[in-house]
């Protein structure tokens, strides 16, 4: 009888361990403190995002000409923002710096006449 109880306990412990390994970690999704500044004279958009306690390697930033997606992880907190630039930018000229919990993203505004075609009259 003791052998059966021991085997039963071993199986239950194994199942509990597998459940814990397969279960996703609970995260709290938080929209980070964010400020945006558009400078039409210099053709720049600057976005500053507060990500307190997040390590640089735990930040992901992706950009399109009109939107950007940002995620950052700290413990069981996920900072997440999917925002508009507020204008059309050039993704290839976008730069980001992270220091002391503050992410600063600078993007160049696309010149609307850059791809314009001149028509002959």
Give the model confidence (pLDDT) of 6-60 as tens digits: 766 676 676 666 555 554 566 789 999 999 999 999 999 999 999 999 999 999 9
Q: Answer yes or no: is 14 within a domain.
A: no
Q: Domain count of the chain? A: 1
pLDDT at position 115, please? 83
Over residues 61-114, the pLDDT tens digits come to 999 999 999 999 998 899 999 999 999 999 999 999 999 999 999 999 999 888
Quick check: is 54 in a domain?
yes
115 part of a folded domain: no
Tens of pLDDT, residues 46-59: 999 999 999 999 99
Give CA–CA dist 35/47, Å, rounded: 6
Domain of residue 64, CATH code: 2.60.40.790
Residue 1 maps to a domain: no
For residue 50, being part of any structural domain is answered with yes
Return the pLDDT at 109.
Answer: 96
Structural domain boundaries, residue 103: 28-109
Q: How many CA atoms lie within 13 A of 57 on its CB side?
A: 0
**C-alpha closest to that of 51 among 27, 70, 25, 28:** 70
């Amino acid at each position: 009888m003791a052998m059966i109880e021991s085997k039963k306990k071993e199986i239950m412990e194994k199942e509990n361990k597998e459940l814990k390994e397969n279960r996703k970690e609970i995260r709290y999704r938080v929209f980070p403190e964010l400020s945006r500044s558009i400078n039409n004279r210099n053709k720049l958009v600057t976005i500053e995002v507060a990500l307190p306690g997040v390590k640089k390697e735990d930040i992901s930033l992706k950009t399109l000409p009109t939107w950007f997606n940002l995620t950052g992880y700290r413990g069981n907190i996920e900072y997440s923002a999917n925002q508009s630039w507020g204008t059309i930018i050039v993704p290839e000229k976008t730069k980001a710096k992270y220091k002391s919990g503050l992410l600063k993203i600078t993007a160049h505004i696309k010149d609307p006449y850059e791809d314009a075609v001149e028509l002959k009259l």
